[in-house]
């Protein structure tokens, strides 16, 4: 299978890939570059911020909910205006937002982490109906927030712990039972980063340092993988008209010069067609 470059702007830390189903357009972030990026009919486009931005959900055809290092904002794709919604660890200079995604009930899950990956500094939250409620603390690198087609199952990872959990949800989308370990990579050292669930219920995980995107069955078994020309993939997203195109953000952060020489596409946003189909991204109801 061919892996191509979708966008050749190099991100320091590409993340938060989101396919907007109404606009038919991919959005993603360069966290360290403090920018939101996209491509439209006129070519590449981006917006810059005065603080880290990392993840988004779509509210309507013209608006995103964006997680920044200090708050959640309502962001206009038309004029770039950002309306503050609610603080997110605004009084903690150690942390920033990281991975996030909208759930089937219209809530928005957002994880935080230390700016230097300080152990246990991060937490996981859910924003729903104007309330930001903590779900778990003691997280080092929050990642892999994703939701199964049944609407009653969430996934979440702490990359530094090499674990992905499966989380049962109640009818309103809140965790209703104990988290169970879905993928345990402590022996292999695999680093689960961003993830998305496909239409068949398989968890598609970008594996930092592993130069691959892996597809895991609902049983937790590895069933397929895509080898990438970069060592640090960060977040997959399905897009295009039939949701059969897979976009993958990547990072160049922390790579030494010789690694960059060997993988010059690091930081670019990649694209391929693996024969899998995604789910439509859920709408945020702020």
- What is the Cα–Cα distance from 133 to 230, expressed in whole angstroms? 36
- Banded pLDDT at 257 (limits 50, 70, 90): confident
The CA–CA distances, whole Å, from 281 to 25, 59, 113, 178 equal 12, 11, 24, 26
Sheet holding 191-197, edge to edge: 191-197, 203-208, 212-216, 222-227
**For the residues 10-30, what does the mean pLDDT come to?**
98
- Banded pLDDT at 51 (limits 50, 70, 90): very high
- Banded pLDDT at 125 (limits 50, 70, 90): very high
Output the pLDDT for position 259. Answer: 84
Average pLDDT, the chain: 97
Three-state secondary-structure class, residue 258: helix
181-208 pLDDT, tens digit per residue, is 999 999 999 999 999 999 999 999 999 9
Could you tell me how far CA 145 lies from the centroid of its own chain? 7
264-275 pLDDT, tens digit per residue, is 999 999 999 999
* Assigned CATH class of 4-272: mainly beta
What is the per-residue burial (b if ≥16 Cβ within 10 Å, else e) of 209-229?
A: ebbbbbbbeeeeeeeebbebb
**For the residues 198-220, what does the mean pLDDT come to?**
98
């Amino acid at each position: 299978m061919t892996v191509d470059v979708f966008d050749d702007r190099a991100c320091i830390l590409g993340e938060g890939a989101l396919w907007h189903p109404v606009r038919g357009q991919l959005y993603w972030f360069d966290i360290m570059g403090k920018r939101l990026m996209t491509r439209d009919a006129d070519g590449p486009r981006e917006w810059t911020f005065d603080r880290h931005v990392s993840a988004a959900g779509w509210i309507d055809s013209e608006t995103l909910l964006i997680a920044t290092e200090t708050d959640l904002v309502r962001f206009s794709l038309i004029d770039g205006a950002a309306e503050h919604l609610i603080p997110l660890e605004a009084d903690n200079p150690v942390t920033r937002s990281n991975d996030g995604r909208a759930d089937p009930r219209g809530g928005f899950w957002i994880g935080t982490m230390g700016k230097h990956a300080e152990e246990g500094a991060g937490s996981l939250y859910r924003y729903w109906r104007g309330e930001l409620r903590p779900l778990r603390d003691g997280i080092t690198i929050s990642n892999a927030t994703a939701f199964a087609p049944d609407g009653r199952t969430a996934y979440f990872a702490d990359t530094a712990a090499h674990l992905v959990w499966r989380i049962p949800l109640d009818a309103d989308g809140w965790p209703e039972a104990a988290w169970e370990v879905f993928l345990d990579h402590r022996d292999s050292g695999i680093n689960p980063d961003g993830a998305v669930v496909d239409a068949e219920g398989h968890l598609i995980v970008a594996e930092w340092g592993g130069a691959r995107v892996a597809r895991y069955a609902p049983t937790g078994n590895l069933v397929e993988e895509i080898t990438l020309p970069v060592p640090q993939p960060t977040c997959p997203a399905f897009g295009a008209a039939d949701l059969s195109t897979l976009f993958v953000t990547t990072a160049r952060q922390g790579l030494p010069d010789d690694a960059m020489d060997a993988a010059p596409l690091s930081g670019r946003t990649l694209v391929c067609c693996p024969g899998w189909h995604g789910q439509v991204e859920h709408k945020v109801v702020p």
